[in-house]
Amino acid sequence: MTPERTPAARRSRRGRRRPFSVERRLTEHVDKLAEEHPPIPVDSADYSMVRPRLLAEQFGPVVTYMSRVELEVERNVLELNLLLPDPPAVDKHFYADVWLPQETHHGLLLDRLQSLAGLPQATPDLTHVSFDFRLLGQLGRWNAIQDVSRMLYYLTGVATEQSAILAYNKLHHGLLELGEKAVASTIIAPIRRQEPGHFAYYKIAAQGLWSEIAPWQKWLVRTLRRYTFEPVGAYTKKQWAQFGDVMHHLGITTGGEEELLRYAQQIGRFELELMWAHRQGLRVPTYVLDSLRSAARLAAAAAGPEMRRA
């Protein structure tokens, strides 16, 4: 075995354990995203609305929630800088130089839309980093633990982006049905075109890392994922209820249990196939479906009998 092929040589300071082919694919993917999908200029959109009050009534909770989540990527980057003290260079390039500006502009577009529709502006939390991130960041000074944190980051990214893709597709369709073609075509359509690229990054990265980590790390990832999964952007009980309200306004929970199960399957399909293939007959990770059910129940409780009858 030549020196350059030893495990120590392959596990460079940045990109430890990652096969070169995966590193190359990710680098090419990020470069392509940066070139083909620059941040959407906020002034490029047509904010004219036919019936702004009806838009706010039908989709106000969706736009409000999504604008906050998109704008909170600034805090998410702070969290990642703590969680991953020594990340692969391509990861940092992706989330700091490509993902952050793209998502921030998504939030700005949606925030201006909701303001013009008569809704309150977004109030994102841009600074608070939870103790859990700080603790994992300290533990992440051990390479093996940082690999676990990275795996959780990728899995969260996959689920988050899949949720976003589904939500933007439903929102785009709903706005067209309302006759709001300008908003649908110049705001929602450009945003949804950028989300699949983020999803693809996390998927490639997760597949590559999962093939490299040890069995005990896989066990730990499965365990932590089971207890830490949460709907995108939902960190408090109030936000869980708001996410349930988003599902209601997008028609996800109005179709009954089968529709909710279908939505959960779409969000959890990747990690089901990656991490739970050994569980024969499992249709969706139970923690994904349980979380969505909890969000729906909290939203119904907060809204009262009117929403429960809808």
Q: Cβ contacts of residue 206 below 8 Å, gap of 6+?
A: 151, 154, 155, 157, 158, 270, 274
Indicate if the pLDDT at residue 8 is higher than 50: no
Q: What is the pLDDT of residue 308?
A: 47
**Could you tell me which of 16, 290, 50, 26 has the C-alpha nearest to residue 148?**
16
Indicate if the pLDDT at residue 51 is higher than 60: yes
Mean pLDDT is lowest, of 39-43, 131-135, 254-258, 282-286, for: 131-135
232 dihedral zone (left: phi>0; alpha: psi -120 to 50; beta): beta
3-state secondary structure of 208: helix
The answer to whether the CB of 165 falls within 8 A of the CB of 195 is yes
pLDDT band at 241 (very low <50, low <70, confident <90, very high): very high
Q: How many angstroms separate the Cα of 262 from the Cα of each of 33, 183, 285?
A: 30, 28, 12
- Output the pTM of the full model: 0.89
Average pLDDT over residues 299-305: 80
What one-letter code names the amino acid at 175?
Answer: L
Question: Angle CA(184)–CA(187)–CA(193) in degrees, nearest 5?
Answer: 95
Distance CA 86, CA 63 (A): 35
Average pLDDT over residues 179-201: 98
